[in-house]
Amino acid sequence: MLAILDKAIEHNGLVGAFAFVGFIVLISGFISRKLTFGRMHGSAIAILIGLGLAYWGGVMTGGKSGLADVSLFAGIGLMGGAMMRDFAIVATAFEVQPHEARKAGLIGIVSLFLGTVVPFIVGATLAYCFGYSDAVSMTTIGAGAVTYIVGPVTGAAIGASSDVMALSIATGLVKAILVMIGTPVAAKFLGLRTPRSAMVFGGLAGTVSGVSAGLAATDRRLVPYGALVATFHTGLGCFMGPSVLYFAVKAIMG
Amino acid sequence: MIIYGTALLAVCHLLGIFLGDLLGSLIGVKTNVGGVGIAMMLLIFARMYMEPRGYLPKPTEAGVSFWAAMYIPVVVAMAAQQNVVAALRGGHVAILAALGAVLVCACIIALINRMEPKSDVDPFAALADPDHKPLV
């Protein structure tokens, strides 16, 4: 009977992936509420579990595609593949309300650009210091320091290797978790009091899950303002990463 | 019809990827230049054009927002198929790069927010700052 179930899941890979990822998200929400008291965003825990399972899959099969190399979970490869990933990311642009966005103003644009360029420089420089001296790897890890979405999108566009992509996602993930946990602690130092300050924060801190979770734990009223600017962050990063920033790194590295 | 929304999203996606590839070959690189970003902008512009004209009824909108809501699950699936075993060999790079980026950005946020003029008005009553320029 178990063999029949195995076969049913293997033959319906994508559907199986929907069910499996739904289960991961459910558990993550539970962990987020009960164990961290909402301090850590459920989505960040879900991604951590995903990375953990990818590690397990990699150890089990010795392959390069994490959990997707385990035949039972092959559908994960389709669900998290380039096509679905880009499709879902493009769809998030729909959540940007143009009339709300106009309120973000000049300082929002400035912090948005700073929030893309500054983490990129820090990430790429550190990557170089640790021996990742080719332009593609430096750009991908630098982009990962922008957000965990910008990293893999940039890496995929310029042809980075899977391990550099994973490193890039790990960088973005560590950043998101740091922002989530650190924001309520550092709220006073950051000057998080007004909508404008939340927009500056959203632009510079970047990662949407980090910003929304961090602001929610600081002052719920600040959340939409920060998230609004942060929503632009992924688009700007995905736009600049494989183009301007990659060319800049390529020009410097020769 | 819900498919209109999903089709709009698909057209923006394909057009964005196409323009990104075109831009890439125009400037002589073999990569897609900002295709996803271009697609996002196309979708924002499509919404700005269609919404006031009543071309975006609820079902059409749902055809896009479903996929927007699927983005975290898709990212979870993406995370689950990464080469984590290989990444862990350079794990300290991820932690140091993230920590460095967060610390530098935190200082810049603190600096910019300290330059914000103090006001006695409750900022959450209404947000109407005439100095703010439009973003899009």
**Which residues numbered 67-86 in B keep a CB inside 8 Å of some CB on A?**
67-68, 70-86
**A60 & A107 share domain:** no
Cβ separation of A25 and B79 shorter than 8 Å? no
pLDDT averaged over every residue in chain A: 83
pLDDT of residue B131: 41
Reduce the DSSP state of residue A116 to 3 states and report it: helix
Does any CB of chain B come closer than 8 Å to the CB of residue A65? yes
How far is the C-alpha of A193 from the C-alpha of A181, rounded, in Å? 18
Q: Return the minimum-mean-pLDDT range out of A2-11, A65-74, A177-186, B47-56.
A: A177-186
**Do the Cβ atoms of A236 and A114 come closer than 8 Å?**
no
How far is the C-alpha of A59 from the C-alpha of A22, rounded, in Å? 24
Matching residue, tokens 């057209």? B11
Cβ separation of B9 and A87 shorter than 8 Å? yes
**A230 & A120 share domain:** yes
Please spell the DSSP secondary structure of A25-65, one letter per residue: HHHHHHHHHHTSTTSS-HHHHHHHHHHHHHHHHHHHH--SS
**B75 & B88 share domain:** no
In a domain, B31, yes or no: yes
**Do the Cβ atoms of A246 and A215 come closer than 8 Å?**
no
In a domain, A86, yes or no: no
Residue numbers of the domain that contains B49: 2-81
The pLDDT of A62-72, averaged and rounded, is: 85
Over B83-135, what HEC string results?
A: CHHHHHHHHHHHHHHHHHHHHHHHHHHHHHHHCCCCCCCCCCCCCCCCCCCCC
On the 0-12 / 13-18 / 19+ scale of CB atoms within 10 A, B111 is exposed
**A71 & A15 share domain:** yes
* CA–CA min distance B46, chain A (Å): 9
pLDDT of residue B90: 57
In a domain, A248, yes or no: yes
* CA–CA min distance B6, chain A (Å): 9
Q: Which residues of chain B have pLDDT under 50?
A: 125-136
Structurally, chain A folds into a number of domains equal to 2
In a domain, A85, yes or no: no
Which of A64, A110, A167, A245 is the best substitution to test chain B (most B C-beta atoms within 10 A)?
A167
Query: What is the count of residue pairs from A and B with beta carbons less than 8 Å apart?
Result: 342
On the 0-12 / 13-18 / 19+ scale of CB atoms within 10 A, A11 is exposed
**A34 & A126 share domain:** no
Residue numbers of the domain that contains A165: 99-253
Is the pLDDT at A5 greater than 50? The verdict is: yes
**B32 & B90 share domain:** no
**A228 & A132 share domain:** yes
In a domain, A219, yes or no: yes
Length of chain A: 254
In a domain, A94, yes or no: no
pLDDT of residue A71: 85
pLDDT of residue A24: 94
pLDDT of residue B132: 41
**A160 & A225 share domain:** yes
pLDDT of residue A101: 54
Q: Which residues of B touch A119 (CB under 8 A)?
A: 101, 104-105
* CA–CA min distance A27, chain B (Å): 13
**A207 & A132 share domain:** yes
Nearest CB neighbour to B80, from listed A66, A108, A114: A66
pLDDT of residue B6: 96
Interval A19-59: pLDDT, tens: 999 999 999 889 988 887 876 667 777 877 888 898 899 89
In a domain, B126, yes or no: no
How far is the C-alpha of A142 from the C-alpha of A13, rounded, in Å? 33
**Which residues numbered 20-59 in A keep a CB inside 8 Å of some CB on B?**
21-22, 24-25, 43, 46-47, 49-55, 57-59
Cβ separation of A239 and B95 shorter than 8 Å? no
Tokens of B109: 């946020």
The complex scores an ipTM of: 0.75
Interval A93-140: pLDDT, tens: 776 666 655 665 688 888 888 999 999 999 999 989 988 889 999 999
**Do the Cβ atoms of B94 and A167 come closer than 8 Å?**
yes
How far is the C-alpha of B120 from the C-alpha of B110, rounded, in Å? 20
**B31 & B58 share domain:** yes
**B75 & B12 share domain:** yes
**B19 & B65 share domain:** yes
pLDDT of residue B130: 39
Q: Which residues of B touch A96 (CB under 8 A)?
A: 44
**A15 & A52 share domain:** yes
Q: Report the candidate in A183, A124, A111 with the shortest Cα–Cα distance to residue A150.
A: A124
The pTM of the full predicted model, rounded to 2 decimals, is 0.69
**A141 & A225 share domain:** yes
In a domain, A228, yes or no: yes
**B31 & B95 share domain:** no
How far is the C-alpha of B134 from the C-alpha of A165, rounded, in Å? 35
| Helices A195-205 and A208-216: angle between axes, nearest 10 degrees | 140
Q: Report the candidate in A219, A229, A245, A233 with the shortest Cα–Cα distance to residue A107.
A: A229
Q: Which residues of B touch A196 (CB under 8 A)?
A: 116, 123, 129
